[in-house]
Structure 1
Amino acid sequence: MDSLSIIIMCAAGIVMFILGWVFATYFGKNKVSEIRKIAENTIREAKREAETIRNEAEVKSKQRWHQIKMKIVSETDEREKRLKQYEQKLVNREREIRNKMSGTVEKEQLLQRSQKDLTTQQEQLQTRAQHVESVIHQQMEKLENITKLSYEEAKKQFLESVAQRAQKEAAELMLQMKSEATQKASFEAKWIISDAIQRLASDQTAEITLTTVDLPNEKIKGAIIGREGRNIKAFEQITGVKVIIDDTPEVLVLSSMDPVKREIARLAMLRLTETPNIQPEFIEDVVERCKKQVETAMNKASDEVLNSLNIKNVAPEMKQMLGRLKYRTSYGQNVLQHSKEVALLAGNMASELGYDVQLARRAGLFHDIGKATSNENEGSHVTIGVEVTTRCKEHEVVINSVLAHHDEAEPIHPISQLVTAADIISGSRPGARREPLEAYGARIEKLEQIAQQFDGVSKVYAIFAGREIRIVVEAEKMDDAQSAMLSSNVAQKIQNEMQYPGQIKVVVIRERRVVRYTNSTSPAVDEARIEEAVVSDSPSQN
């Protein structure tokens, strides 16, 4: 390569360098200008945003400052208000205290003045009391001279007068209280009892200790007696029943204290009368069959009663004893029917009063269960009944009802009292029981004697089989209030001294009559008389 080429190349390189430098300088300036513009725009935007942020911060700070200021002002106002209230209260309290202090001072002054006045009045009263005592003493002396009575005698008469007046007022008050109580309780009590009785409908039987057996003919008596009395002795030994054969035609009598044995003997005797040839061995076989027949009848009777009363879970021993009551009587009343009546009555009353009906029926049915064996065991039927019910694990109310229905224990539940009431109702119902003539007469006489013991009684009449006693009093000796008290006293005395079923009604009758005849110049006659005609209407049901 020649030098020219080298020079040219160098020149070209220099030119290229210069051109490149010029080009770079030109474009570099444009780039810086753009960057500067961008930076200036960015700075302006930043300043604008900063201004906006600063303005917002100032607004927020002013709002926050305003809120804090208002809160502080509000709290300050509230505190000032409270302080003013406390200050007003203190002022009022101070004013009250000053008023009280001034009132206390006034009261003390008034009290002092009152004490002085009381002292003066006390002195005046003492003076007047002395004067009054002197006057009273003088008047007493004058009264004693006028009445011819001493102080003690006058005092005695006055006390007697006051006592009579107090007794009269007490009788009137008692009559008023009794009337009010009767009005409140009588209606519902009578309704409960009468409704319970009206629901009851049962057949009554009247069994006695002696049972008669009708014979087909008179000749059969010889066959019953047998040769040398072998048949009748065998019959009595097997059955435990005494056979009485007397002159009554075609009739023999069976006697036994045990009603079940008597029933077995009656059935066996009826079968034997149908047999022409009677032997001791045949008697034993017939009696055995009749025992089974009676046991079947007793079981059937107990089942019927238990089913009719809807009583469940009865021990076999209790069930058997209940069946025996079919042939047991008390004062002529069948005990099984009586027990059923008591169960129904107690259940009905328990239903009305809101107690357990089934428990009341159960207690009523078993209250006389001891009578099933009372002829064979020692002790009363109450004691036997308690032993049986306890042994059979009956409810405690049932056991207590057995004890309480004859007042041998205090009732532990109202059902026990209902059973006692039902027992009295069933036993006192007209026609339920028989009473010996001698006992009836003695009871009537005792009733009349009790009533005649009181002063002012003129006549006494016991009527309605001794269930009502009518007392005629002398009108000039007793007023209405004393008559009311007399009825209560007689009823209380009868209750304390006599034993009787049910209730006895005590009626006191007082009447004054003034009689005057026409075409007569005689004065009117004041007669304290009582109409003594006894009304013979039917007795009321209690």
Structure 2
Amino acid sequence: MDGIDIMYFAIIGIVALGAGILIGRSMIAKGNAQKEKELEEKAARMIKEAEITAENIKKDKILEAKEKFLKLKSEFEEEASRKKNQIITNENKLKQKESHLSKEFENVKRQEADVKELRDNLTAQLEVVNKKKAELDKFNQQKVSILEKISNLTADEAREQLIESLKSEAETKASSYIKDILEEAKLSATKDAKKIVLETIQRTATEHAIENCVSIFNIESDDIKGKVIGREGRNIRALEAATGVEIIVDDTPEAIIISGFDPVRREIARLSLHRLVQDGRIHPARIEEIVSKTKKNIEEEIVEIGERTVIDLGIHGLHPELIKMVGRMRFRSSYGQNLLQHSREVANLCATMASELGLNPKQAKRAGLLHDIGKVWPEEPEKPHAILGMELAQKYKEHPVVCNAIGAHHDEIEMTHLISPIIQACDAISGARPGARREVMESYIKRLKELEELGLSFDGVNKCYAIQAGRELRVMVDAENVSDDRAGQLSFDISQKIEKDMQYPGQIKVTVIREMRSVSYAK
């Protein structure tokens, strides 16, 4: 192929390329024109749809605005109508009030005129009454003057005679009436008093508690008796010295007898024996230790008994010291009658009787429980127990009614309250029950106490116990201050003073015990 052919083909190629480009452009221009037309038509359709939508929205908004306007207009018209009706109603009420006030005003004016007329009439009548009163006074003076001339008495003398006559007649009638009332009152009072006392006694159930002077300590076997006695009797002597009672170990099977007039001592001895037997170690040092602990336990038990008693009786606000004294009553007796049982019975009797008489049953019950409280206070034995009990009640801020009832129940002081004779009567009722008391027991205990106090009055005496029903006085002395020779002399002096100052049956053995102990500790 030569160069001309190549050129020819190149020209043809170029021409063909140009023709292709022209044709392509023509086709693109034609396509673009069609697309623009379609777009224009689409835009025209959208504009038309938008116009239609806008028109619909416009119509809806116009309709909604019209509805709202009509609704607001209707509400406004209703509110305006309501207010208008209210205004009309208020105007009608005001018109009615004005009419009512005008009528009342007319009535007031009419009443004022009537009052004025009435006042004028009363003034005229008062003048007439005053005139008639003056005439009546003048007539009375004339009448009195005439009566004075006739009777030769003045008006004051006649008045005095009339008063004396009426007074004498009234006194005669009154004395007769009072006499009838007193006779009737005496009959009914005696009957009512018997009824109240009988009802009180019947409503109060109690047991007869008689105190004994011995306690029985039961043991499992008689072998324990040897341990209790100890070598050469040292254990039993130590126990008697520590407790102040007599320990009787005889042929009674499975029993040890504890003898002593003081219930507290007997109880301490019984509990101490129980602990010693359970422990098994019985010797003088252990005995003293156990007795000391038992005494502390008894003190706690006394407080517990007092608290339980006041709770059972429903008594509140009692001082702790008085509660402790109430507990001590459990271990005291009055003519053989247990003091706590007696006081509880008197308290219940007093409360019942006070209720029957319409008095305060709580104060009566309180006074009944505390009426013998002076018997358990050993510091001032020379005072009567009623006075001592009253002073203790005053010391611990008891009510004056309670204090007077305690002090007056044996007539040591004057009774100032109605509860006081009730306490006295109930104390007599409790003590007068058949089998409630034994006079011999009281005198016996009093004699033993005096015997112990006589022994304690000597110098150098630490403890003093009356045992064997008062036939022996056991005296423990201080070994450092009392020698053996002095112990013998002391025994003689005490026996001589007993012969001189006391009355007693038979004879009294005076035993002075002087024990020397030396104690040291290995550290």
TM-score (norm 2): 0.49
Q: Kindly indicate which of the two structures has a greater share of residues assigned to helix.
A: 2
Report the TM-score when normalising by structure 1: 0.47
